[in-house]
Structure 1
Amino acid sequence: MKYLPAEDISFQSKLKATELIQRLKDSIEPERAFRFGLFQRRETKPYQGKVVGNSFNISRIISYRNSFLPRISGNIENTFDGSLIKVKMRLHVAVLIFLCIWSGIVGTVGIGFLSKAFGSTHFDPMTLIPLGMLVLFYVVMMLAFQYESTQSKADLESLFEAEIVEE
């Protein structure tokens, strides 16, 4: 079981790298800073990002806000019977920094509350709130990331006419 919002996946396709790169280029558009509200166009491609050589950095274009949307980077390599696509799905760096700071603050407050509660003869259930916030935040983060990564895996399987291979 994975405990962090990150995935390393390999796809095996019967198509050659040049064909896969062209399909990928046809499915992405350049990144834009704003894609919601008045700035959202109706006719978008499924992904945004860029392809450089045999490598790519993309993310899904969604019509809602999800800070836990995976950033997808990958490399396409020719093999004897097609291509191998190695993909990494990670959170955006700014989201990771925020998660570390927020979790550190809430965790420190939670430990402070618990240490104070253990020094007292009276137990107050309110001392568990910061730790409950951490657990709830972790569950929401993992579910949101998994939902989006599942969507992206299915899209990439279809786009590359590929199967996921175990390494």
Structure 2
Amino acid sequence: MKILPIEKLTLITELSKSKVIEELNLNIRPKQNFGFGNKNVESGKKFEGNIFGDNFNVTRIINYKNSFLPEINGKIIEKLNGTEIEVELKPAGFVMGFMILWFGGVSFGFIATLIGAIIGEGPIYACIIPLFMLLMGFGMSKFGFSTESEKSKKDIIEILQAKVKK
């Protein structure tokens, strides 16, 4: 079972490499930091981020807050009969760092209360609070990421007229 949500997949499209880059450029706007209000209003583009050479780094444009919105890092590889796009979806670095600290601290708290209960220093039911916090952190990261991940994959597959490589 993965604790931190990271997905990797390879997309295959019949489009040429230059056409893939063109389609991405049509659907990506430059990153807007710290924007407020409805970010989706402008120009109908689905993603914001950067394309640099054969690589891109984008996030889906949403008009609500979700800290687990996946960053999509892609590498475009030209093949004989089309193009492959290696894609990695993961939460932002700050969110990943926070969740590592969260899981580490709460795990330490759980182990400490469990050991305390075993040696008779505290009641066993005290373990419930850190266990609940662990489960809530895992549930929030899993649910928040997976719902946005599915939408992001659907949009990128649609834009690139691609299929997921098995």
**Structure 1 match to 2:26:** 26
Note if 1:119 corresponds to 2:119: yes
Note if 1:43 corresponds to 2:34: no
In structure 2, the residue corresponding to 1:31 is in which secondary structure? coil
Mapped to 1, the partners of 2:85 and 2:112 lie a distance apart of: 47
**Structure 2 match to 1:54:** 54
**Structure 2 match to 1:138:** 138
In structure 1, the residue corresponding to 2:41 is in which secondary structure? coil
In structure 2, the residue corresponding to 1:74 is in which secondary structure? strand
State the number of aligned residues. Answer: 165
* Structure 1 residue 41 displacement after superposition: 5.9
- Displaced runs of 4+ in structure 1, greater than 6 A? none
**Uncovered stretches (5+) of structure 1, i.e. residues with no partner:** none
**CA separation of 1:121 and 1:2: change in aligned 2, threshold 3 A:** closer
* Structure 1 residue 150 displacement after superposition: 0.6
* TM-score, length of structure 1 as denominator length: 0.90
Mapped to 2, the partners of 1:121 and 1:49 lie a distance apart of: 53
- Letter of the aligned partner of 1:136 in structure 2? M
* TM-score, length of structure 2 as denominator length: 0.91
**Structure 2 match to 1:12:** 12
Task: Indicate the percent of aligned positions where both proteins have the same amino acid.
Answer: 33
Residues 94-134 of structure 1 show CA distances to partners (whole Å, capped at 9, x for unaligned) of 11111111222212111111111112297442331111111
Higher mean C-alpha deviation, range 1-10 or range 87-96: 1-10
Q: Could you tell me whether the CA contact under 8 Å between 1:35 and 1:63 is conserved in 2?
A: no
**CA separation of 1:164 and 1:94: change in aligned 2, threshold 3 A:** same
**CA separation of 1:137 and 1:159: change in aligned 2, threshold 3 A:** same
